[in-house]
Structure 1
Amino acid sequence: MLVVGIDVGSTSAKAVLFDGRIKVYAIRPTGWSPREAGAEVLAEILDKAGLSRREVAYIVGTGYGRVALNFIDQAVTEITCQARGINYLTGKAGTIIDIGGQDTKVITVNEQGKVVDFVMNDKCAAGTGRFLEVMATAMGMDVDELGSLPKNVNPVNISSMCTVFAESEVISLLAGGVAREEIVAGLHRAVARRVKSMLKNTAPATVVFTGGGAKNEGLRRALAAELGVEVMVPAEPQITGALGAAIIAWEGNGGAVAHN
């Protein structure tokens, strides 16, 4: 049996082909049409696997764009799918920090992969991938460069998490001669503190960092420093929602799942 999970987020679409294990996956930009992005990422994984659509038993869609996917068999919230995906990878209870393009989620999961609690910041760009993208542009950098700067840098204080005000603050700091490395470290610390406030200042034992933001090593280090715990990052942190959707499809069709 083969099943597929598709996660169409605000900035990227992800798909996982699953047969009890991850068979193949793909990631591509969402662009202007969530429906087209979902269809394209599905076609990509089928092409990689040398399969036709007829050979897929079931498709579960998730992410904000799931409502646009008219070819799926079931839609499930991204909160539930993230929980299932991470539980499959770790086999543990814990907390998921998911920093995507337009929102940040903090999800508490039990040992069975069920959601115990969650908090989501989706009312503004503060602390999201979009926030860091705007700050990188203000500094004349690509957002991918933010995570590769030196480790031992004293972070400058960033007083505002509002994207508009923070951008002005970054420009002023640059004009005042503050090094970009110090500004980036300050931005990472500001985002980490924002996430910590969503955790209600508790320090969970197991923390897994997912989403596009998890590819930023500087941000991972800042989160670990603020929370005082190890912060784990999956091998491919962007596909965990699609993986969870695939697991739900697999189990819903009689499949049994062992932890990875």
Structure 2
Amino acid sequence: MNNGKYIAGIDIGTRMTKCAIIDTQTGTIVSRATILTKHNLALASENVLNEACKNISITPSNVFYVASTGYGRYQAPMRQIQITDITCHAMGAKFLFPKTINILDVGAQNAKAIRIDENGRVMKFKMNDKCASGAGSFLERVAKGLELQLDEIGSLSLHSKDPQPISSICAVLAESEVINLVTSGYPVEDILMGTHHSISDRIVALLRQVGIDGEITLTGGITRNAGMVKALETKLGIKLNVNENSEYAGAIGACVLANKRLKKIAYERLHIN
């Protein structure tokens, strides 16, 4: 078996592709990278791996094992293994926050609520992917209706004093509703925070289906949206586990699971021989 040092996890999502690299000798995350997925998933996986390697002055040839996850996991040509995103987000959340019991993974096209045991094993999960409700695409539509960039809306919403709820669960219809609120004279920050509250209602309802118990870790690109994090924390009445690595949880989980697999193979070979 290759005695290399680095393992990479690549999470190919509908909007963003992320990569994390771990040093197997220390068990630490040594690099991360994220790029737009666009239309070529294989190219996205190659480019994001190159970026992550460049960050630590190595090349992909120095990475001896690659695990892929996400909706495009079968499109990564350099992968040795592909793992479902639910399993990876569960393990990634457990790695980042060891006391995690519940995980909320909110991406571009769907939202997932996951419940795990003390070992990070998935016990139950629920997913919502209808009309991209409760997901990043919903916010993207709202941002478009307000002529804002997606990265702007989180910080803007924090200035809200009177959130205006969005009743539509369909992303396309929500955009029209937002335009109507703007023409009625409501402040942009109130429309944005109202949107965040409306989405959080649906996400928390999803979480309740798997059972809320213990620490909750938020993963996915939504973790960069401070307004969405605040809305969820307000709805749940607790502080969520979020840090700078949270959006990379899927890629990190792929790394961790790949490392566990390699250790198991090495152990079995040692005892067979």
Deviations 1:174-198 (A, max 9, x none): 1111111111111010000010111
Residue type at the aligned position of 1:242 = A
Say whether residues 1:178 and 2:186 are aligned partners.
yes
Q: Distance in 2 between matches of 1:253 and 1:157?
A: 49
Q: CA RMSD in A?
A: 1.6
Select 1:47's aligned residue among 51, 54, 58.
54
Select 1:59's aligned residue among 63, 66, 81.
66
Q: Which moved more, 1:118-127 or 1:34-43?
A: 118-127
Select 2:28's aligned residue among 8, 21, 25.
21
- Matched residue, 2:90: 83
Say whether residues 1:167 and 2:171 are aligned partners.
no
- Matched residue, 1:258: none
Say whether residues 1:129 and 2:133 are aligned partners.
no
Q: Distance in 2 between matches of 1:229 and 1:84?
A: 22
Residue type at the aligned position of 1:198 = L
TM-fit CA distance, 1:86: 0.9
3-state DSSP of counterpart to 2:132: coil
TM-fit CA distance, 1:121: 1.4
Q: 8 Å contact 1:93–1:112 — kept in the other structure?
A: no
- Matched residue, 1:219: 228
Q: Distance in 2 between matches of 1:2 and 1:163?
A: 40
Between Structure 1 and Structure 2, how many residues are aligned?
255
3-state DSSP of counterpart to 1:130: helix
3-state DSSP of counterpart to 2:263: coil
Q: 8 Å contact 1:203–1:227 — kept in the other structure?
A: no
Map residues 1-260 of structure 1 onto 2, 5 A cutoff: 1-19=5-23, 20-149=27-156, 150-151=158-159, 153-200=161-208, 203-254=212-263
Residue type at the aligned position of 1:105 = K
- Matched residue, 2:271: none
TM-fit CA distance, 1:99: 1.1
Q: Distance in 2 between matches of 1:213 and 1:206?
A: 18
Q: 8 Å contact 2:144–2:175 — kept in the other structure?
A: no
Q: Which moved more, 1:102-111 or 1:146-155?
A: 146-155
Q: Percent identity?
A: 36
Deviations 1:188-246 (A, max 9, x none): 10000010111237543311111111111111111011112211212232211100101
TM-fit CA distance, 1:25: 1.3
3-state DSSP of counterpart to 2:151: helix
Deviations 1:10-39 (A, max 9, x none): 111111111111111111111111110001
Distance 1:181 1:47, change over 3 A: closer
Q: Distance in 2 between matches of 1:23 and 1:93?
A: 22
Q: 8 Å contact 2:104–2:207 — kept in the other structure?
A: no
Residue type at the aligned position of 1:192 = S
Gap runs ≥5 in structure 2: 265-273
Residue type at the aligned position of 2:11 = D
Per the normalisation by structure 1, the TM-score is: 0.93
Q: 8 Å contact 2:160–2:190 — kept in the other structure?
A: no
Q: Distance in 1 between matches of 2:28 and 2:50?
A: 19
3-state DSSP of counterpart to 2:164: coil
Residue type at the aligned position of 1:244 = G
Deviations 1:31-69 (A, max 9, x none): 111110001111222222232433322111100111111
Larger helix proportion, structure 1 or 2?
A: 2
Residue type at the aligned position of 2:236 = L
Residue type at the aligned position of 2:122 = V
Q: 8 Å contact 2:143–2:153 — kept in the other structure?
A: yes
Gap runs ≥5 in structure 1: 256-260
Q: Distance in 2 between matches of 1:142 and 1:54?
A: 36
Q: 8 Å contact 2:97–2:241 — kept in the other structure?
A: no
